[in-house]
Amino acid sequence: MAGSASLLLREQFVCSICLELFSRPVTLPCGHNFCCGCVTRAWDVSGKSCCPLCKEDFPLRPELRVNTTLCQTSTALKQRSLREESRASRGPGGRDTESDAELDQQRAALLSAAQERTRRLEENLSALRDEAMVETDTSVTLFAAFARTAESVLSELLEDIEGRRRAAERRLHHALEQVREEMAALSRTEDPLDFLNREHREEEEVQGSLEGVVRSAVETLRSELSSELQKLSAAELRSVQRFAVDVCLDPDTAHSALLLSGDRKAVHCGDAKRDLPFSAGRFTDSPCVLSTPLHQRSAKAYYEVQVGGKTRWYLGVAKASVPRRGQVSASPASGLWVIWLKGGGEYRALDEPAVALEPRRRSLERVGVFVDRGEGLVRFYDADSAERIYTFTGCSFAEDELRAFFGPCSGDGGRNAAPLVITALH
């Protein structure tokens, strides 16, 4: 049984190309693992980048990085195989002190890696509990305030209705007294039709005295709740700003017409394309640029971009594997989660289908972008008012590297010359 388990474990760390234990293993975007040298040679021979197992095509050759966990495990398995072969050659009772020392070193290295991962997981668990406690306290406080506000408005509404009812009853009693007096004198002095008309007018006045009361109370409640929601929005924005990351533009991805600042924090579109060094990751047709990878230790990231003074722009998050040849078609299916200032003050979320946006502030100055891998969402904020602009949900990030996406659009004769600027948080 132990031998079968050992063989099964070994099979999990065998490259399907060379059929040997992994050497510098890499993980492709589809999730399959291969030796770095094996998959690189396979791509060079075939002339295209696709997974040798599932045949998934990658329009842009992925940046291969050694999977350190797989590398450590496969190395340990190789050492184990060597020891087993050595013991078999020595026969029963043999001992290899050098191999045992290497085994101890491998065991210590694996134990150290496991302890470090355990420490990080425990830190994340503690942070999650703290965050849940804060959210619980905030929720209780907020909804208690909502309840108090609703009770106060309801109490005032009931008092108003009761006061109006009493006033209406007084008018009705007065009208009844008048009717009785008129009935007593009807046979002598009043025209019967004139009497009926006056009675109808009095009834209409009394019946209409409560119209609009409830609606006015609801409007008051909505106004007061809106004030509480604004406080909640500000608290939410402060919460996600804790995950702020340092974002810099990657010049090797920039379209040749784009001009980047020296600190790689700002970008605008020039008047013409420039002659730049070849880069396989450069956008060829669409004036776009990506950031360097968003390093997300907690699987969350936040950054802000100044968009004020521009008439058109694209802004969002992209998979590192997003196609860069030809015109960019921005949609979640292509690995892009983007909002767009179309021009004329019209905003769109380029979802599937696209969604028209109506932020309260029609002229946005700073946009905050929040990414949560665990929840699979990308959310945009008006960083000045803390209003949510749009949220992409159900995002499929898999294990792909994520980058910030910027499209400053053409200068439009100087009307759109202002840059997109990655800003420091206030």
Same domain membership, residue 291 and residue 201: no
Identify whether residues 260 and 405 lie together within a single domain.
Answer: yes
CA dihedral 98, 101, 106, 110 (to 10 degrees): 170
Q: Structurally, how many domains does the chain consist of?
A: 3
- Residues 180 and 33 reside in one and the same domain: no
Band (pLDDT 50/70/90 cuts) for residue 2 is very low
Single-letter amino acid code for the residue at 389: I
| Residue-averaged pLDDT of the chain | 82
Give strand pairing partners of 357. Answer: 347
232 and 276 part of one domain: no
In whole angstroms, what is the distance from residue 392 CA to residue 380 CA?
A: 9
Residue 109 placed within a domain: no
Residue 369 domain boundaries = 244-423
Question: Is residue 94 pLDDT above 60, yes or no?
Answer: no
* Among 212-221, 368-377, 395-404, the range of highest mean pLDDT: 368-377
User: Which is more confidently placed, 362 or 286?
Assistant: 286
pLDDT computed for residue 5 by the predictor = 46
Ordered DSSP codes for 179-246? HHHHHHHHTTT--HHHHHHHHHHHHHHHHGGGTTHHHHHHHHHHHHHHHHHHHHHHHHHHHHGGGB--
Structural tokens at position 311: 């008439």
pTM over 0.95: no
Residue 102 lies in a domain: no
CA angle 85, 89, 95 (to 5 degrees): 85
Least confident of 123-127, 248-252, 287-291, 380-384: 123-127
Stretch 43-70: mean pLDDT = 84
pLDDT at 168: 78
Looking at the structure, do residues 235 and 282 belong to the same domain, yes or no? no
The pLDDT tens digits for 166-224 are: 887 888 888 788 777 777 766 665 555 665 555 555 455 555 466 677 777 778 777 77
> How many alpha carbons fall within 13 Å on the CB side of residue 232?
17
Residues 276, 319, single domain; the answer is yes
Question: How many C-beta atoms lie closer than 10 Å to residue 74's C-beta?
Answer: 24
State residue 316's pLDDT score. Answer: 96
Give 311-336 pLDDT, tens digit per residue. Answer: 999 999 999 888 888 888 899 999 99
Domain final position from 242, 268, 301: 242
Q: Which residues pair with residue 249 across a beta bridge?
A: 291
Domain co-membership, 184 together with 72: no
User: Do 170 and 313 belong together in one domain?
Assistant: no
Cβ contacts of 227 within 8 Å, gap of 6 or more: none
Q: Is residue 379 part of a domain?
A: yes
| Contact status, residue 24 vs residue 36, Cβ threshold 8 Å | yes
